[in-house]
Amino acid sequence: MSATLAQLLGAWLLEYLPTTRGFPTNTISSYRTAFVLFLRFMEARKGTPPDRARLEDFTPATINGFLGWLRETRGCKDSTANQRLAAIKAFFRYVQSVAPERIQLATPVLEMKAAKTPQPEIRHLTVEAVQLLLAEAKKSSLRDLALLTVLYDTGARVQEIADTTIADLRAEKPATLKLAGKGRKTRITPLTPAAAAIMASHATTIGPDPAARLFLNRRGRPITRAGIAHILAKHAAAVHAARPTSMPGHVTPHQLRHSKATHLLENGVNLIYIRDLLGHASITTTERYARANPELKRQAIEQASAQVVAETHYDPQTRHDLLTWLENMT
């Protein structure tokens, strides 16, 4: 007898994702939300109560109706609808692996295409802005300085920093910080000497327990993603008030990650190394930093052109006329 939707969903969310695959809680929660919404859609639009929903209800037509309902009724963007579709497809990849008799049902779902969405703009801070941010944090506390320094220095995801412990820090040369990324995959990231010194000083304020979290809130409890975002926003706002042209009004932890990657790229660091530092599963993800940087594109084009294009034969007046014509093209 084939497993029911409820049985398969329960095994996927409660056992397979957290235990077998080691998915982070936030990802599992997002997947769960996708199915909560799908069941609400089925009840509202199809008259099917949640306890009557079946795997057979997940047809491409019904899923497309669900995605349209998300956009129209809940005001979701295409990117959000794509995330919900990705959750459904992830579930059906699991279904076909544990219930091969359902492959014929899973195949049409897995062949569904996500809606095309514009590439999100990569917002990053200048080197000057990062320096001003760290200088502002230094005025507040050693913890804030260490937190923002290591967030930028490692290019880590905010949850990775929130989860670090005393045992993850190696302050002596070569200084490193061990991070647990997506799917519980760990990686060792190097620390610059300046960052290592700050982290070593901060670690002495936590205590000797190697299992203790590196960053705590004001109540002495492990800091959260929201807490880190608050600290960053507070110091960024202070810099913005004093230097509005140097610092955006709103800064997120992920912008520090983008900033680190962009600054490394601008300094000629190979994309492969940047991928490994950031913990990207694919180089394709890292390549977006190169595609999004017009200055890097210009430098690459100029460098390539210099090798094949001879010095211009235009005299100053001819060049002026040519530029005028180009500028006035419609």
Q: Residue 31: pLDDT above 70? A: yes
Question: Higher confidence at residue 120 or residue 164?
Answer: 164
Residue 118 domain-assigned?
no
93 with 181, same domain? Answer: no
141 with 236, same domain? Answer: yes
Please compute the mean of the pLDDT values over residues 219-232 and round it to a whole number: 94
Give the CA distances from residue 42 to residues 11, 65, 89, 314, in Å, rounded to whole numbers and listed in that order: 22, 10, 18, 69
Residue finishing a domain among 269, 301, 316:
269
pLDDT above 90 covers a percentage of the chain that reads: 55
Residue 46 domain-assigned?
yes
Predicted local distance difference test score (pLDDT) of residue 306: 38
88 with 160, same domain? Answer: no
Predicted local distance difference test score (pLDDT) of residue 307: 42
CA distance 61 to 141: 56
Predicted local distance difference test score (pLDDT) of residue 330: 44
> What is the band of 321 on the pLDDT scale with cuts at 50, 70, 90?
low
pLDDT tens digit string along 77-111? 888 999 999 999 999 999 999 999 889 999 999 99
Predicted local distance difference test score (pLDDT) of residue 312: 44
Identity of the residue numbered 82: N
Which residues are tagged catalytic? 157, 182, 254, 257, 280, 289
Residue finishing a domain among 80, 110, 140:
110
Least confident of 75-89, 133-147, 196-210, 306-320: 306-320
Q: Across the strands, what pairs with 165?
A: 213
Pairing of strands 169-170, 186-190: unpaired
Q: Residue 235: pLDDT above 90? A: yes
pLDDT tens digit string along 306-320? 343 344 444 566 555
Q: Could you write out the three-class secondary structure of 175-243? A: CEEEEECHHHCEEEEECCHHHHHHHHHHHCCCCCCCCCECCECCCCCECCHHHHHHHHHHHHHHHHHHC
Predicted local distance difference test score (pLDDT) of residue 233: 94
Q: Is 45 left (phi over 0), alpha (psi -120 to 50) or beta?
A: alpha
142 with 197, same domain? Answer: yes
Please indicate, yes or no, whether the overall pTM of this predicted structure exceeds 0.75. Answer: no
Predicted local distance difference test score (pLDDT) of residue 318: 58
Element (H, E) at 306: helix 294-308
Q: Residue 121: pLDDT above 80? A: no
Please compute the mean of the pLDDT values over residues 15-39 and round it to a whole number: 91
Domain housing 202: 127-269
Residue 278 domain-assigned?
no
pLDDT tens digit string along 55-72? 999 999 999 999 999 999
Highest mean pLDDT (candidates 145-149, 180-184, 266-270): 145-149
Of 267, 257, 254, 261, give the one whose Cα is nearest residue 286: 261
Average pLDDT of every residue of the chain:
84
Predicted local distance difference test score (pLDDT) of residue 300: 41
> What is the band of 257 on the pLDDT scale with cuts at 50, 70, 90?
confident
83 with 133, same domain? Answer: no
> What is the band of 36 on the pLDDT scale with cuts at 50, 70, 90?
very high
Least confident of 55-64, 122-131, 208-217: 122-131
243 with 158, same domain? Answer: yes
97 with 217, same domain? Answer: no
92 with 149, same domain? Answer: no
CATH code for position 150: 1.10.443.10
Residue finishing a domain among 47, 82, 110:
110
200 with 243, same domain? Answer: yes
CB 231 within 8 A of CB 162: no
Residue 200 phi, psi dihedral angles, 5° rounding: -65, -40
Residue 87 CB burial class (10 angstroms; 0-12, 13-18, ≥19): buried
Rounded (to 5) percent helix, strand, coil in the chain: 65, 5, 30
Predicted local distance difference test score (pLDDT) of residue 115: 83
152 with 260, same domain? Answer: yes
Domain count, the chain: 2
Highest mean pLDDT (candidates 119-123, 235-239, 261-265): 235-239
Angle between the N-to-C axes of helices 283-291 and 271-278, in degrees from 0 to 180, rounded to the nearest 10: 120
pLDDT tens digit string along 282-302? 656 556 655 555 554 444 434
CATH code for position 36: 1.10.150
